[in-house]
Homo-oligomer: A and B are copies of this chain.
Amino acid sequence: MAMSKQVFFILTALVGEPRHGYGIVGEVAELSEGRVKLKVGTLYGALDRLTAEGLVEHDREEVLKGRLRRYYRLTRSGADAVAAEAARQHANAEAATARLRGWQARHA
């Protein structure tokens, strides 16, 4: 149920269009504005787990300029999971900032 930052970004990177592993790395860096540099050791393991959990599935394989590209696609349940996690994170951030606001106000 709980989801790591890495997995969250992997799933988010797959929203809209299928991507291959190495492509996900770059997309995550862009999405997170450089905050998350996904390691390949993390990626492939996570991809396998997510596939087993049904949040992601194989899309297709391409050979581009002699290099194999294995594409992954988000499932319906994967999209739901991203949306739910985003909502949770939004709520969490909101709760914290509200607290900080209130505290600063009382100490102004």
Show the binding face of A for B, using Cβ within 8 Å. 2, 5, 8-9, 12, 15-16, 31-33, 35, 79, 82-83, 85-97, 99-100, 102-103, 106
Contact = CB atoms under 8 A, between A and B. Distances in A.
A82 B97 CA distance: 9
A12 B99 contact: yes
A35 B90 CA distance: 13
Contacts of A106: 16
Contact of A99 (B15, B93, B94): B15
Contact of A91 (B33, B100, B102): B33
9 contacts: A8-B92, A9-B92, A16-B106, A31-B95, A35-B88, A79-B100, A82-B96, A82-B100, A83-B97
B12 A96 contact: yes
A64 B88 CA distance: 36
Contacts of A31: 95, 99
